[in-house]
């Protein structure tokens, strides 16, 4: 799997936007960019994914660079409940056979200040 690079930690204030960067310079043309987050002592939670175009959902937005070598997860208005470790993960096109687990990096620990 192609590698991703994220800052170890970031800090933001409550009710302000947060931009979480991810570098993936070795991404292949068929790799999807996924974001998951993990709150303390819980299992990860899907946030968003994309391939080439920017994506929006109720949780966040995903901005993908034109060359796809980097992306940014955007939380439009952070709350204390958004404090978590955010993982940027690349996943290739599913080719069958069931082998489809995710490879987690170290992620970014997001700290939200009240």
Partner 1 sequence: GAVVSQHPSRVICKSGTSVKIECRSLDFQATTMFWYRQFPKKSLMLMATSNEGSKATYEQGVEKDKFLINHASLTLSTLTVTSAHPEDSSFYICSARDYPGRNEQFFGPGTRLTVL
Give the binding site for partner 1 (CB under 8 A): 32, 34, 36, 38, 41-46, 49, 87, 91, 94, 96, 98-107
Q: Are 102 and 1 in contact (CB under 8 A)?
A: no
Least Cβ distance, residue 95 to partner 1 (angstroms):
9
Toward partner 1, which CB reaches closer, 14 or 68?
Answer: 68
Toward partner 1, which CB reaches closer, 7 or 44?
Answer: 44
Least Cβ distance, residue 105 to partner 1 (angstroms):
6
Toward partner 1, which CB reaches closer, 75 or 90?
Answer: 90
Both tokens of 26, joined, read 């070795």
Please tell me the distance from the alpha carbon of residue 53 to that of residue 17, in angstroms, as a whole number.
Answer: 21
Toward partner 1, which CB reaches closer, 95 or 114?
Answer: 95
Q: Are 49 and 33 in contact (CB under 8 A)?
A: yes
Please tell me the distance from the alpha carbon of residue 45 to that of residue 114, in angstroms, as a whole number.
Answer: 23
- The contacts of residue 52 (CB under 8 Å, 6+ apart) are 64, 68
Least Cβ distance, residue 49 to partner 1 (angstroms):
5
């Amino acid at each position: 799997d192609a590698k991703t690079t994220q800052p170890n930690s970031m800090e933001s204030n409550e009710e302000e936007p947060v931009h979480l960067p991810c570098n993936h310079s070795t991404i292949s043309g068929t790799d999807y960019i996924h974001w998951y987050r993990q709150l303390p002592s819980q299992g990860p939670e899907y946030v968003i994914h994309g391939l080439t175009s920017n994506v929006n959902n109720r949780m966040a937005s995903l901005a993908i660079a034109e060359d796809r070598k980097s992306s940014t997860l955007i939380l439009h208005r952070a709350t204390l409940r958004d404090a978590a470790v955010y993982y940027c993960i690349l996943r290739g096109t599913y080719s069958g056979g069931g082998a489809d687990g995710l490879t987690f990096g170290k992620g970014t620990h997001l700290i939200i200040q009240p």
